[in-house]
Amino acid sequence: MWSAGSGRSQIRGLALGVIALCGVAAAGIVGARGAYPADQPRLRSGAAWLASTQVGQLTLLDGSSAEVAAQVGVAPPGNQLDVVQQGSVAYSVDRTAGTIRRVDGSTFEPSPAAQPLADARDGLRAYAGPDVLYLLDTRRGVLTGADPHTLIAQGRPVSLSARVSPQAASLDEAGRLWVLDADSGDLVWLRDGTRHSRHVGTGGTAQLTVAGGVPVVVDPEHRTATTFDPVSGAPRRTFPLDLRSGDRVQVSGAAHDPRLYLVAARGVLAICDLAGAGCGVTVPIGTQTSDFGAPVEAGGRLFVPDYATGQVWVVDLDTGKVLARPRVLSPATRFQLLTRDGIVFFNDPDSENAGVIRLDGGVRRVPIPSGATPGSAPSTPPNPPPNPPPGALSASIVVSSATPLVGDTVALAALGPPGGPQPVDAEWDFADGSRGSGVNTSHAWSAAQTYQVGVTAVFPDRRTAKAFVQLRVVNRPRLTVQPPG
């Protein structure tokens, strides 16, 4: 019989580090300061859990070093898997069995399978916040809360009037789950275990997202986008949308700003300022045969997946221009696109293909090994060590300024581990098309944006280690002098 606990494989330990994002030589340990509180060792900023259906496992991919950090077996191979991440914790959703597991972010230990919603199966979706976990059966229109640690259902299930589209549910930063019941036209939200609703009268193709903590209902039939008060659910503002009859759309919202992103299947991206003039920016993308997914935002860029071509369109949010359109997978592949802490990941759950997309559109491919093979679980689960083992090489980047002004010269240095061997040479990638060399170097950037700077450090024995750091280059402030009187 298959056992989830048997399928844990730690490929890289994760330890504490310094300001820079650290890389390692082969078989070394990767480490950096994490952005989310967790027990030792902390997950570094920019680590994402990815689901692999073909082998029934979750893989923790470190976006900074583009290396596999851990693998955990959670289901029999071939079961349809999804994953929801909250901080360092992963929740694996098995839509074949209708079960959910919690994977601890410190020990990578999976919990036993739980079934808070009986017989949900292919309709099961999970939404996780810092202190909440919701389960939704989109097929039957039933949702419930569950304890985020024990996975035990809390309270009575809430019944909706009909099936719910996965694009009609979203969790806001305050832990409220919003669901659009398209059949009844009701906007339903759960707060502190209590159900609330408001009739909004949308069409059957309406979608829901959250932008800057505010729920937004996009109604293609009425060609409108409406924002709602996150506390009372009262409508705030309604914006017209430049849509044609029958337009198929994909929507998403900015995590921290009142911006809505809408992609129409005919090849138009609309960027809507929900606190200002509305949808004033339009960007042509794709072709007549494009099949778009929901866009994701990172580092002042918008990443729009096109499943038909296997490409991702990278759009500068400041200028509204297309910067790149890298091909990440083969055409006609419905891959996943997600962002964690400013790093964009792509993943094909049905193959080993995954990787990281840089802000300039560069791609780093990371094949996912099928390492979490079911077997006998060890009696004592191994914990990742807090420090690199003897012989491992790591590198880090020290910068004179993490937020320089355009044109300012920034000093950069490549360092080895404290008390260990130090680099004798280094090759730099400044992420703006320029390169440099030397353990100590400097560079100035000519445009305001976020750059992911990389270095390959060379040590005395000619082994190498990689490291990365993000620099946010900002425009120089303008000084206006008013003449007296």
pLDDT tens, 180-236?
A: 987 788 999 988 778 899 998 887 789 999 999 999 999 999 999 999 999 999 999
3-state per-residue secondary structure call for the chain: CCCHHHHEECCCCEECCCCCECEECCCCCEECCCCCCCCCCCCCCCEEEEEECCCCEEEEEECCCCEEEEEEECCCCCCCEEEEEECCEEEEEECCCCEEEEECCCCCCECCCECCCCCCHHHEEEEECCCCEEEEECCCCEEEEECCCCCCEEEEEEECCCCCCHHHEEECCCCCEEEEECCCCEEEEEECCEEEEEECCCCCCCEEEEECCEEEEEECCCCEEEEECCCCCCEEEEEECCCCCCCCEEEEECCCCCEEEEEECCCEEEEEECCCCEEEEEEECCCCCCCECCCEEECCEEEEEECCCCEEEEEECCCCCEEECCECCCCCCCCEEEEECCEEEEECCCCCCEEEECCCCCEEECCCCCCCCCCCCCCCCCCCCCCCCCCCCEEEEEECCCCCECCCEEEEEEECCCCCCCCCEEEEECCCCCEEECCEEEEECCCCCEEEEEEEEECCCCCEEEEEEEEECECCCCCCCCCCC
Residues of the chain predicted below pLDDT 50: 1-6, 11-44, 372-390, 479-481
pLDDT at site 478: 59
pLDDT at site 475: 84
pLDDT at site 8: 54
Which residue has tokens 């000084």?
479
Fold of 394-472: Immunoglobulin-like (2.60.40)
pLDDT at site 6: 43
Say if CB 443 and CB 431 are below 8 A apart: no
CATH for 1-21+28-159 (1.10.40.50, 2.40.128.630, 1.10.287.3510, 3.40.50.1000): 2.40.128.630
pLDDT at site 22: 37
Domain extents for the chain?
1-21+28-159, 394-472
At a CB cut-off of 8 Å and minimum separation 6, what does 300 contact?
316, 317, 318, 359, 449, 450
CA distance 238 to 260: 12
CA distance 45 to 343: 9
pLDDT tens, 16-39?
A: 233 333 333 322 222 222 222 222
pLDDT at site 392: 58
pLDDT at site 167: 81
pLDDT at site 56: 93
Q: Which two tokens stand for residue 378?
A: 């060890």
pLDDT at site 80: 94
Say if CB 32 and CB 45 are below 8 A apart: yes
